[in-house]
Amino acid sequence: MKRTGKRSDVSSADAAVLKREIIGIVLMFSSLFFISAILRFHPEDEAMFSALPWYDIFSKAAKDAADAIHNPFGLFGARLAAFFVVSFIGYFVVLPISSIFFLGWSLFRANSLKSGILFFLFSIFFSLDIATLFGLTTMPFSDLFAGAVGRMLAERLSTVIGVTGAAVLLLVIAAVLMIYVGKGLLFTALGGATGFKNSISKPLAMVTEKLEAFRKKKISKKSSESGKKS
């Protein structure tokens, strides 16, 4: 009975590890897909699918729209890019989506999620702050870096404390986030990089050693063959 209990504990532990790894892989690949689609956002794509409902993906109109879309990920990628860039916080949404990749990596490597969650929260507040800061400006490209949410928050803040007061407040918030939160994340990233370097140093040393042995063996073989010829 005891052996059966131990086996069940081991199998449940293995299943939990496998589940954690699968979730981590899904998060990493999903974040990479989202980032790739967002970075390929094209302003003209929105006009192509604006009249199409989400569920209309097999009609002739959907096919014609997909053929004219610039996004390499088709209608789905173009819709995602337009939603995040235009209707959300612009290109700065890439930062919180990148933090999802970091969370997935932590799950896959069975690391602590504390740093990943901290980075996720930091990226959300920092992206909102910078998007709102761009929302205060009238530069031609500011809409792509502010989005609808950034513009809305900028309008509310400028109404309450003025444009100058809003800009100063947002810059102070960004500086505080960078100093107190970004510093801790930087140390965590450096520690992770050191750990990664240490984890691959041994395999690299083994490969280098084998290559060196192969090179010496080849030189020895050539010298023996030249000695026989002479």
User: Cβ(53)–Cβ(143) under 8 Å?
Assistant: no
161 has a pLDDT exceeding 90? yes
pLDDT at 229: 57
- State the pLDDT confidence band at 114, using cuts at 50, 70 and 90: confident
Closest of 84, 83, 88, 79 to residue 152, by C-alpha: 88
Q: How many residues does the chain have?
A: 230
pLDDT at 106: 87
According to the per-residue pLDDT averaged within each range, which of 42-51, 88-97, 203-212 is highest? Answer: 88-97
pLDDT at 32: 95
pLDDT at 7: 59
**Average pLDDT, integer, range 72-90:** 92
Q: How far apart are CA 128 and CA 111, in angstroms?
A: 28
| Domain boundaries defined on the chain | 2-39+89-225
Angle between the N-to-C axes of helices 142-176 and 114-135, in degrees from 0 to 180, rounded to the nearest 10: 120
**Average pLDDT, integer, range 171-198:** 67
**Average pLDDT, integer, range 148-154:** 95
- Residue of 223 and 142 predicted with greater confidence: 142
pLDDT at 49: 83
Handedness of CA 140, 155, 146, 51 (dihedral sign): negative
Give the 3-state secondary structure of residue 71: coil
In the block, tokens 């569920």 appear at 55
- Per-chain mean pLDDT for the chain: 82
Amino acid at 215: R
DSSP 86: I
pTM of the model: 0.72
196 has a pLDDT exceeding 50? no
Give the 3-state secondary structure of residue 12: helix
**Average pLDDT, integer, range 37-58:** 85
Closest of 173, 47, 203, 23 to residue 110, by C-alpha: 23
1 has a pLDDT exceeding 90? no
Amino acid at 73: F
- State the pLDDT confidence band at 112, using cuts at 50, 70 and 90: confident
Task: State pLDDT tens for residues 99-109.
Answer: 999 899 888 88
Cα 3 to chain center, whole Å?
A: 44
